[in-house]
Amino acid sequence: MLEQLLIFTKGGLILWTCKELGNALKGSPIDTLIRSCLLEERSGTASYNYDAPGASYTLKWTFHNDLGLVFVAVYQRILHLLYVDELLAMVKHEFSQIYDPKRVEYFDFDETFRQLRKEAEARAEELRKVKPGGKGVNDGRKLVMKKGSGFGGGNKKNKSEANEGGNGDDGKGRKLENGHSNGNHNAAVVEGNRGMGLANGKENASSNNEAFDVTKLQKLKSKGGKKTSDTSVVSKGSNVDPKKKVTKKNRVWDDSPKDAKLDFTDHVEENGNENIEVVAADQGESMMDKEEIVSSDSEDEEDEEVSKDSKPDAKKKGWFSSMFQSIAGKANLDKADLEPALKALKDRLMTKNVAEEIAEKLCESVAASLEGKKLSSFTRISSTVQAAMEEALVRILTPRRSIDILRDVHAAKEQRKPYVVVFVGVNGVGKSTNLAKVAYWLLQHKVSVMMAACDTFRSGAVEQLRTHARRLQIPIFEKGYEKDPAVVAKEAIQEATRNGSDVVLVDTAGRMQDNEPLMRALSKLIYLNNPDLVLFVGEALVGNDAVDQLSKFNQKLADLSTSPNPRLIDGILLTKFDTIDDKVGAALSMVYISGSPVMFVGCGQSYTDLKKLNVKAIVKTLLK
């Protein structure tokens, strides 16, 4: 049974709801649909599932893009109502006839909806009655299966029929029968061949072992040149060994004077503190506090002119019709009109390192938002599609919540507790290095920072963090290796509370998203310490793997947590952004998958090379 049907504008004004249904929905499925699907450019999907305590709903929707209306139907997921799509199409058609932008109430639509619903239910009932009429086909399939049930002659018959290539209504039965019989037969043949291969292999091996030395000696006798000398060298071995030892002695490691220059460690005993302070002070202002300037649009216009000049044939094709269409305007856009422009956009996004799955979903969402919309005069379809895609990309990449960490730090300071940030991610993405960059940026804003070395798994991880702490002159909490990282983090937070540190930056071990023991340990660390911010550190170099990494990280954190409300990833730190040129698609893929904003971007090796994500620059690069 249908639970609810709503009609509202894209601005959020509810125009009509079905009073007959009047069922009180559990939870807030409509709000969740708008927030996590429609606003996230996932409207190209067929349906949305919403789980609430005691109920599971399926939501389906359609748009009237020309009028800016949204039609949403809600029903129990277990029912699988067949008439919902047809009912939404009928409601959309009828309501668009009476829609007036000045009207707010549509009480007269109740009777119309009642009739439309009866028609849709009647058609669905007719389809159900028609379905049993197709018993002949099912019976045919059953007969074929019965014929082929004999494992002797039945299989032979099916094989001969399959070889003849006969196609009929009962082809599925044949395929299944032949698939099983041929699979078993082939498996037996393969196993037989393997057995024969093993037997022959053993015989050949033994025979070869017996005859190998004879043939080798014959060859050596026939050549009598280098190989005989080689054998003599092997047999004697005394004349050449001294020469080899001499060559080894020539490689001197200890006596070279350059070894002192290769030692870059800080000697704390002698003069070390003064050098460290100079190193920390000379780094300069962090790029987080500098505004990035986006170049003008003149470059884009030049690129467009070049692309136009490079395709003169495409311009000549249908010149008059395209010119007339751009002047007069098109009645309504349909999928066939949008498909070429969307395909070109999808290919462009994929060349910028956007995951294929994400690019496809974005194009479907843009198509859903433009389908049925009237094309204005002097406007090309490609420019309309590009403008819609640009709006969608800006909407996705713009954070929906505050990412001002300094404000959150001061708020935590007022509550007399440290602000805890946990850095998580896969191996080798630069968690420790970028943790030090974040620490340097916080120090510039007069925030006291403490590091927690909770990577007790990788060799050298504690020493690496200790080096950063010495260079930045900040305290570090460490317990060595082979300790429980969750307990180490908890003790570090307690130590920071006692010492009055404002921020605790927790370094964790790198782990692959499929490594369940390590993911379980990470889930325990997050559950036990309840950090204020969980930052996923990811490379800007990844393409399709970004989808797998983030979705599985979130999934594992949710599945392995013992809390009823598990903590997921709150933000993203993109590293190695200086190595990708215009391949900036990883930022889009990660934000789209997780719904979390990009809070930091690492763009170099020094402490100052940390900046904010410039949404306009990213969108411009993606569509260039």
Dist. CA 15–CA 578, nearest whole Å = 50
Residues 470 and 492 in one domain: yes
Question: CB neighbours (10 Å) of residue 167?
Answer: 8
Q: Is residue 46 a part of any domain in this protein?
A: yes
Read off the pLDDT of each residue in 347-364 and give the average, rounded to a whole number.
Answer: 90
Residues 378 and 446 in one domain: no
**What is the model's pLDDT at position 218?**
58
Q: Is the pLDDT of residue 7 over 60?
A: yes
Residue finishing a domain among 76, 101, 124:
124
**What is the model's pLDDT at position 222?**
55
**Which of the pair, 289 or 25, is modelled with greater confidence?**
25
Q: Is residue 104 a part of any domain in this protein?
A: yes
Q: Is 324 helix (H, G, I), strand (E, B) or coil?
A: helix
Question: CB neighbours (10 Å) of residue 95?
Answer: 21
Percentage above 90 pLDDT, the chain:
29
Residues 465 and 605 in one domain: yes
Residues 416 and 340 in one domain: no
Residues 27 and 97 in one domain: yes
Residue 253 pLDDT class (50, 70, 90 cuts):
low
User: By the 8 A CB rule, do 451 and 476 touch?
Assistant: yes
Q: Is the pLDDT of residue 219 over 80?
A: no
Q: Is residue 289 a part of any domain in this protein?
A: no
Over residues 493-530, the pLDDT tens digits come to 999 999 999 999 999 998 888 888 889 999 999 999 99
Whole-structure pTM value: 0.63
Residues 466 and 359 in one domain: no
Which DSSP state fits 39? Answer: T
Q: Is residue 157 a part of any domain in this protein?
A: no
Question: CB neighbours (10 Å) of residue 285?
Answer: 10
Q: Is residue 75 a part of any domain in this protein?
A: yes
Q: Are strands 533-539 and 503-507 parallel, antiparallel or unpaired?
A: unpaired
Residues 372 and 433 in one domain: no
Read off the pLDDT of each residue in 255-274 and give the average, rounded to a whole number.
Answer: 48
Q: What is the CATH number of the domain that holds 458?
A: 3.40.50.300
Residues 486 and 570 in one domain: yes
Find, among 332, 345, 326, 334, the residue nearest to 388 by Cα.
345
The DSSP element (H or E) to which 462 belongs, if any, is helix 461-472
Q: Is residue 545 a part of any domain in this protein?
A: yes
**What is the model's pLDDT at position 507?**
95
**What is the model's pLDDT at position 249?**
54
Q: Is the pLDDT of residue 402 over 50?
A: yes
Over residues 181-203, the pLDDT tens digits come to 344 444 443 344 444 443 444 44
Most confident region among 8-22, 238-252, 257-271 by mean pLDDT = 8-22
Q: Is residue 261 a part of any domain in this protein?
A: no
* 525-529 LR contacts (CB < 8 Å, sep 24+): 525/422, 525/454, 525/485, 525/486, 525/489, 526/422, 526/557, 526/561, 526/567, 527/561, 527/562, 527/563, 527/566, 527/567, 528/486, 528/487, 528/489, 528/490, 529/420, 529/422, 529/486, 529/489, 529/490, 529/493
**What is the model's pLDDT at position 199?**
41
Read off the pLDDT of each residue in 160-186 and give the average, rounded to a whole number.
Answer: 42
Residues 387 and 494 in one domain: no
Residue finishing a domain among 124, 155, 190:
124
Residues 393 and 417 in one domain: no
**Which of the pair, 304 or 15, is modelled with greater confidence?**
15
Residues 372 and 416 in one domain: no
Q: Give per-residue burial for 325-349: e unless 16+ CB within 10 Å, then b.
A: bbeeebeebeeebbeebbeebbebb
Looking at 282-380, list the stretches that DSSP marks H as alpha helix, in order from N- to C-terminal side.
Answer: 298-309, 312-316, 319-328, 335-351, 356-370
Q: Is 598 helix (H, G, I), strand (E, B) or coil?
A: strand
**What is the model's pLDDT at position 299?**
43
Q: Is residue 514 a part of any domain in this protein?
A: yes
Q: Dihedrals φ, ψ of 28, to 5°?
A: -135, 75
Dist. CA 59–CA 42, nearest whole Å = 13
Dist. CA 506–CA 568, nearest whole Å = 16
User: By the 8 A CB rule, do 397 and 587 touch?
Assistant: yes
Over residues 100-146, the pLDDT tens digits come to 888 888 888 888 998 898 888 888 888 877 765 444 444 444 433 44
Residue finishing a domain among 97, 124, 151:
124
Over residues 285-319, the pLDDT tens digits come to 778 777 665 554 434 444 444 344 434 443 444 54
In the chain, the number of structural domains is 3
Containing structural domain, residue 45: 2-124
Residue 238 pLDDT class (50, 70, 90 cuts):
very low
Of 62-76, 131-145, 333-347, 373-387, the one with minimum mean pLDDT is 131-145
**What is the model's pLDDT at position 414?**
92
Q: What DSSP letter does each residue of 483-544 carry, written as one string?
A: S-HHHHHHHHHHHHHHHT-SEEEEE-----TT-HHHHHHHHHHHHHH--SEEEEEEETT-ST
Residues 32 and 66 in one domain: yes
